[in-house]
Structure 1
Amino acid sequence: MDLTREPHRSIRDAADNIREYNHRTINGPEAFYGEHPINTAPPAIGEAVGALYVLFERLPQAVDQTAAAVRHVEEQQAIRMANGDDPGEAVSRLLRSLIDARQSMLLAQTHLRSAVQVSSNMAGHWLDDDQLEEAR
């Protein structure tokens, strides 16, 4: 964790990591296959679901802290709108949008929690060595 970077860089790096995941998995479930796909894919998918939950668990705090920064800068009267809009009105719209986004994240978190409850129990079949050789 590098706490010396500009705050937006952390979020952009997280977005890049999600993009990497999307590219790895775009062509199908093979990205989740290990040496023995029958055994490793189900728990690997479960791990991905759990990681998505953790991501959405952390996003509301990021939105809250960003909104707090917006409010602080507004209190300092340090905002000028390049398009000529009234800063107060623009900040109100921005904060409303962040609140709405946060609510959506909390809803997604609820659904992902349910998904984790199911996926955390997913496992591959127990196969003996001969069956594993045939599955390759």
Structure 2
Amino acid sequence: MDLTRDPHYSIRDAADSVREYNHRTIDGPEPFYGEHQLINYAPPATGEAVGALYALFERLPQAVDQTAAAVRHVEEQQAIRMANGDEPSEAVSRLLRDLIDAKQSILLAQTHLRSAVQVSSNMAGHWLDDDQLEDADTNA
């Protein structure tokens, strides 16, 4: 964790990580099969992905709040001018309302993801004996 760089880079890195995940999984579930490409590895791996999504959404409300606090501070210092000519105070009001609405949506998503974690944390693949593993169709 690099606490010396500009804060927006941290959020950009998180977005890039989600984009990487999307690219890895866009063509199907095979990336969840693990190093040896075993479908039995996929249930807990997908459960881990659900848990990671929940962790991401769990941290977002604080990020939204702290971003809103920074916007309010900058406005209080009268350091904002709008390139499009809008009145800064009106624009900031709209921005803060949108951030509040976004936070509420994130909290709702958290509720659904928490439920998904409860289900997915119990998922596991079938156990295979060594001799069954040799004969198994590992690519489903």
- Which whole-Å CA distance do the structure 2 matches of 1:111 and 1:27 have between them? 25
TM-score for the superposition, normalised by structure 2 = 0.95
Segments ≥4 residues shifted beyond 6 Å: none
3-state DSSP class of the match of 1:123?
coil
Preserved contact between residue 50 and residue 117 of structure 2 (Cα < 8 Å): yes
CA shift for structure 1 position 38: 3.0
Preserved contact between residue 38 and residue 125 of structure 1 (Cα < 8 Å): no
- Which whole-Å CA distance do the structure 1 matches of 2:85 and 2:105 have between them? 30
Aligned to 1:31: 31
Aligned to 1:95: 96
TM-score for the superposition, normalised by structure 1 = 0.97
- Which whole-Å CA distance do the structure 2 matches of 1:30 and 1:131 have between them? 20
Aligned to 1:74: 75
Aligned to 1:61: 62
- Which whole-Å CA distance do the structure 2 matches of 1:18 and 1:94 have between them? 24
3-state DSSP class of the match of 1:24?
helix
Larger deviation: 31-40 or 70-79? Answer: 31-40
- Unaligned runs of at least 5 residues, structure 1: none
Percent of pairs identical after alignment? 86
CA shift for structure 1 position 88: 0.5
Aligned to 2:21: 21
CA shift for structure 1 position 36: 5.0
What CA RMSD, in Å, does the superposition of the two structures yield over aligned residues? 0.8
CA shift for structure 1 position 39: 2.3
3-state DSSP class of the match of 1:115?
helix
Number of residues of Structure 1 aligned to a counterpart in Structure 2 = 136
